[in-house]
Amino acid sequence: MSSFAVIRPARHLAGSLRLPGDKSISHRYAMLAGLADGSSRLENFATGADCASTLGCMEALGCTISREGEGAGGPMAVAVQGQGMRLRMPETALDCGNSGSTMRMLSGILVGQQFRAELRGDASLSRRPMARILQPLRAMGAEISAAAHDRPPLCIRGEPLRAIDYTLPVASAQVKSCLMFAGLFAAGESCIAEPVRTRDHGELALRAFGAEIEAAGPNRWRVRGGQRLRPIHAQIPGDLSTAAFFLAAAALIPDSNLVFDNLLLNPTRAALLDVLRGLGLQITVLHLEERHGELVGAIQARYGELRGATIAGALSAALIDELPVLAAIAPYSQEGIQIRDARELRVKESDRIASVAANLRAMGAEVEEFEDGLRVPGRQSLHGAELRAFDDHRIAMAFAIASLRAQGESRIAGAETARISFPDFFSTLEGIVQR
């Protein structure tokens, strides 16, 4: 049954936050740990349902996984006993839940195995197209089929793979990682390129586990087949995409002052901080270090009056997960925010362009909707409203933030979807809100 979250206006925000591990890194580390020769320990592993789906799939593929602190409201540590490059045939279909990350990236591993496997998801994931991985994987020799319109479930039979030279037609870090993983099982050397730079967690994770990934030009990488992976002991940095909601709240509510510890500051993700600085948020880096190739640090975020921004081109690709919350706070800015070149938002857990527009209009905002984005004028006054999560965790969290500055109380139906990425989102938000 759907649950409601009630959000009331905030006076300001204050406190320190140490967030669960980054989802993008947690997914990749769990998969590669399963392929490693030995036991890996992954501390501060992401607590959301999506990464739990990845762990469940790896267990079904023969990996022994133990969890410490699961469901306790604090950091979770995961130990993964790797099976080497040959996993075990699952007894039933692999359940990816709501996680497109799990389905897309794990497909790159399964095509290199010596058995049949089926990947399934929930109703939302079953509507999401998988053509972007199907075409290149088939070009590598994979036998992989999908339901109508290239949607899940996916049926995979492991076959000998050949190397590929492939340029992604649309930038996607998940598709890039999928093909790099498949390249580990291919005969020869694969070259993977992307039209614009995306998150590099796949490349960094592979190197952390001992694989050789070579740069072959701008946004182009070589992956040699036949490599083996070694286990690691890692502390995963806090999720920057989750921090985005709290950072946006600090930018939105006057007199706010938040400190984030152990936060991912990867340059391919730091575009968010640049955009928020440009909007007026005051950000100070308090500490910076490198772990397994990833930059990690502590930052302080203080309120500064929101100005405005245009987000387009490569910047839209870099901020694809953060765009909903930026659009949600746009009415409160001075100059408004325009987002273009973000058609990818149409095929996420919901049609995020339509979902954002619908909720903003419910709050009384003026919104212009494009096929590839939105224009939200600034200097608007919003009122509390009955809002919908649209079965999408990022929409639920984005409008919890937008509601903090609305006039009156808002109710978000389907708020339980936040558990997909951050089960403790609403309690964490309430812990820093001052009224």
Token pair of 335 as six digits: 């100059």
As to burial, measured by CB atoms within 10 angstroms (0-12 exposed, 13-18 middle, 19+ buried), residue 157 is middle
Contact 411/341 with Cβ under 8 angstroms?
A: no
For the residues of 57-126, what is the DSSP string, one character each? HHHHTT-EEEEESTTSSS-EEEEEE--TT--PPPSS-EE-TT-HHHHHHHHHHHTTSSSEEEEE--TTGG
Contact 374/339 with Cβ under 8 angstroms?
A: yes
- SS3 for 351? coil
Token pair of 289 as six digits: 């270090």
Nearest to 186 by CA among 224, 138, 216: 224
Nearest to 249 by CA among 6, 49, 431: 431
Q: Which residue has the tokens 């930038």?
A: 171
Contact 263/299 with Cβ under 8 angstroms?
A: yes
As to burial, measured by CB atoms within 10 angstroms (0-12 exposed, 13-18 middle, 19+ buried), residue 268 is middle
Q: Which of 321, 341, 372, 392 is catalytic?
A: 321
- SS3 for 315? helix
390, amino acid identity: F
- Specify which residues 412 forms β-bridges with: 5, 387
Q: State how far the Cα of 114 lies from the Cα of 209, in Å rounded to an integer.
A: 22
The sign of the torsion formed by the CA atoms of 147, 152, 158, 161 equals positive
155, amino acid identity: C
The yes-or-no answer on residue 321 being catalytic is yes
Q: Hey, which residues are catalytic here? A: 321
